Chain A
């Protein structure tokens, strides 16, 4: 079997083992068994994605070139883990409380669920991760290449290195898709993947330790021999650039928190906060073991290997050169493990960001109706995520294929770290400083990212690739202050530290200054208080008042994202907690928050917020929210809720007082209007009477004709006055219920005939034609009062029906229930819409006052009908004015 075929078989077999491990872990977790899957040690080992192929192979090369400096890469994470109580604990708590799905989600959630920020962080993650994935693919390809010389005794063969990278990329993408997107809800965590990563962690540690033991005890004769050999080597004297020592330690510490894959295993995949307790010392121990034999391997490699040998591959080539093929294959698997675990986790982390913050928002927007699209969104999310994974890994491969050689790629590790670290100020600022706001975060990220791109990333391709040599030497347009590697005229610094310093300095500066200068939105303040005071919170946040929310709409949406069963369970639980039966809880703030968090696990905080807001309509933050911002502790919240209750009571009392006052005012206004109306109605006839009697008294010499005319006027006005007084008296008696009904039995037709005889002919000689169709209806009621109503209606028709041949049709019939209906319909123009509403009120009348009457007629009719146990109403929509009277055949005595 050729070496190459053997390696391919070994790799394939190893991947198969990983598949089985992942599958077994998934199954065990799904069945609720397998506490071993969720053990602190598994969590600790999964953190080893920090140690990529770059560190597995590269650390030795690094040591061979620069001595102990390589160790700084591990010191940073060690310090962060040891101080877990300071940052990590808070980070994990916030991540779990809010179902954070990625570092982009964290930053966006903290700053008011801003999607702009999420997209920005995602962009940084993609740009920073792509070359890193390329680096892993390169290391796999190179490690295959190392075996191209064949085992001792086997014929040499040509290895198509790029093909190896391509196949690796494909296989890794496949594995990630299979185990990274089995479920949607990220907070369910990828047990399979985590377990596989943990196994890989053990494999790479064992591989490196094995090589180390072989080198120390097999080649150097034990510890003392090794130490002597170290001192005798090219790196035997302590040499250190202090700035790099400090700078890279800091960089690695920061990157440990900010790298998308690290955030993913640290926070997103964290099963239990207490795992940190174990990991806090166990992971530093892992790192220490990983680096323990790096220096010996490097020293022995430098000693034994030919001068031109690539120190980056000593781990592999050293055993190979000693004829230890088995050890070499083990080392190969170790390196393979390191590369694959990094690619898998990075692909999951970055693809989650891409799908949650870039693709899904676009999808939801373009699919028209937003959160309420029909069909299962889960399928769309999963497909998006699968494509994102393929895209991220594919991008890494393209980057690898395009980058010409190893030199450019090897540098990218720390540069990629520096890119990821640009998120640090916004993240830590958001965690510990309530004043940090969205604008500040955006400003900081933009500055940091821009400087990083300009001073680190683009120059990393080498002079003449993106930036011309001239530009790097003299700056753009000859502006030396802007030389990418000597910004602001500070030359001579290590390029990495230079870029790191300026990018972070400007990042922090912009972040702080803009945060100080601008004012956050309410939601930002709310989230800020929640994040910064995460340990002080007992329950959920206060009110995200979305009272108008439709539980059913929420349910429809939740089902499509969480799946039917889970959504039903969530809703039922919430309904039960509220003491309701069934599946639809009240959409109160607590429930909405819970729902939003559950959704956030699938689609990210910003999207979940947008979806829920879309349905609840509560896109903006309410006054209660602002109160929550002010309330820092449970006690204060309790206090303020008491205040709230008090002030509610006050408000209620005030409202009652106000309404009572309004009623009084209305009554008094009505009374005023009534009095002033009566005054007007009385004074008008009195004016004529007084004036004319004055005239007659003062001028006794006037003619008889004049005297007769004036006396006639006085008489008419006096009659008008007494009619008015009669009406008023009548109305007052009716309104006070003091009227005595004179119940008699009689025929309706007779009453109508009498009424029309009395009213059809006016004093002015105007005649109304009255057509009665009353049938044979007998009534037992107060016939005089009823007649009064009829007369009123008939005379109204006569007065207001302004056509050449006025005619009134009166039709009466008896309903099945014994009620008598009488319709009065004339052939005039009807009554104006606005008058219909008020015509039964006192003193309302058609605008033409010449018709006489004070406007009390219909008011009296209504009162009479009420006394008789019936009604009178206007029938709109007839040809002319139409009234309908409804009354019982026998007036109830009780009405009297």
Chain B
């Protein structure tokens, strides 16, 4: 079926930017998850035990960084109609003249 126009290989610069911002937004929770897994590697118990105060600082530090990144990315994310285009189909569907019934 040839009804769907092929996706163009290269997008306009702006659309390209938008898509990368969306990628960043999608990746952010994974970054957060990864950073918050690090505490599991810390030594536990005994002499070398990791002090809780540093753990608290680390946890909340990561938290603050994630929030800041989230706010930044959200402000860049496409809005409204633009969001539909960049998210759903990479290029707005081109309606060819001969398509008209």
Contact = CB atoms under 8 A, between A and B. Distances in A.
- State yes or no: do A and B touch (Cβ within 8 Å): yes
B59 A83 contact: no
B8 interface: no
Contact of A292 (B42, B60, B71): B60
Interface string B11-54: 00000000000100110111011001101101111000111111
A572 interface: no
Contacts of B88: 535-536
B52 A238 contact: yes
B49 A78 contact: no
Interface residues of B, number: 52
Interface stretch (A7-15, A202-210, A637-645, A736-744): A637-645
Contact of B74 (A230, A281, A536): A281
A86 B63 contact: no
A282 B60 CA distance: 15
A610 to B, nearest CB: 32
B70 A238 contact: no
A237 interface: yes
Given A238-B44, A246-B37, A635-B3, A82 B52 contact: no
A292 B87 CA distance: 36
Contact of A280 (B26, B36, B74): B74
Contact of A635 (B5, B33, B59): B5
Nearest to A535: B88
B25 A83 contact: yes
A229 to B, nearest CB: 9
Interface in B46-101: 49-57, 59-60, 63-64, 66-71, 74-75, 77, 79-80, 84, 87-89, 93, 95, 99, 101
B50 A288 contact: no
Contacts of B51: 230-231, 236-238
A238 B32 contact: no
A664 interface: no
B9 interface: no
A246 B36 CA distance: 9
B56 A635 contact: no
A274 interface: yes
Contact of B52 (A67, A86, A282, A640): A67
Contacts of A641: 101
Contacts of A282: 71
Interface in A224-261: 227-228, 230-231, 233, 235-240, 242, 245-246, 249
Interface residues of A, number: 51
A620 B91 CA distance: 37
Contacts of A284: 63, 66-67, 70
A633 B69 CA distance: 34
Interface string A882-896: 000000000000000
Contacts of B64: 288
Interface in A79-111: 79-86
Contacts of A535: 84, 87-88
Given A85-B77, A645-B101, A285 B52 contact: no
Given A78-B63, A280-B70, A280-B74, A249 B36 contact: yes
A295 interface: yes
Contacts of A240: 39-40, 42, 44
A274 B56 CA distance: 33
Nearest to B88: A535
A68 interface: yes
A535 B78 CA distance: 14
B63 to A, nearest CB: 5
Contacts of A295: 52, 56
B99 A638 contact: yes
B4 A83 contact: no
Contacts of B68: 281
A78 B44 contact: no
B32 A82 contact: yes
Most chain B beta carbons < 10 A, residue from A67, A85, A288, A635: A85
B4 A277 contact: no
Contacts of B22: 85
A277 B75 CA distance: 8
A407 interface: no
B29 A288 contact: no
A714 to B, nearest CB: 76
B56 A642 contact: no
Contact of B1 (A71, A227, A239, A636): A636
A75 interface: yes
B59 A274 contact: no
A838 B26 CA distance: 80
B55 to A, nearest CB: 5
Contacts of A754: none
A635 B67 contact: no
A277 B49 contact: no
Interface in A526-556: 535-536
Interface of B: 1, 3-5, 22, 25-26, 28-30, 32-33, 36-37, 39-40, 42-45, 49-57, 59-60, 63-64, 66-71, 74-75, 77, 79-80, 84, 87-89, 93, 95, 99, 101
26 contacts: A67-B52, A68-B55, A79-B29, A82-B28, A82-B29, A83-B25, A83-B30, A84-B25, A85-B25, A85-B26, A85-B77, A86-B26, A227-B53, A228-B53, A237-B45, A238-B43, A238-B54, A239-B44, A240-B39, A249-B33, A274-B79, A282-B71, A288-B60, A634-B93, A635-B4, A642-B99
Given A68-B39, A227-B56, A238-B44, 16 more contacts: A68-B59, A78-B32, A83-B30, A84-B25, A237-B52, A238-B39, A238-B49, A239-B49, A240-B44, A284-B66, A535-B88, A536-B88, A634-B93, A635-B5, A639-B3, A641-B101
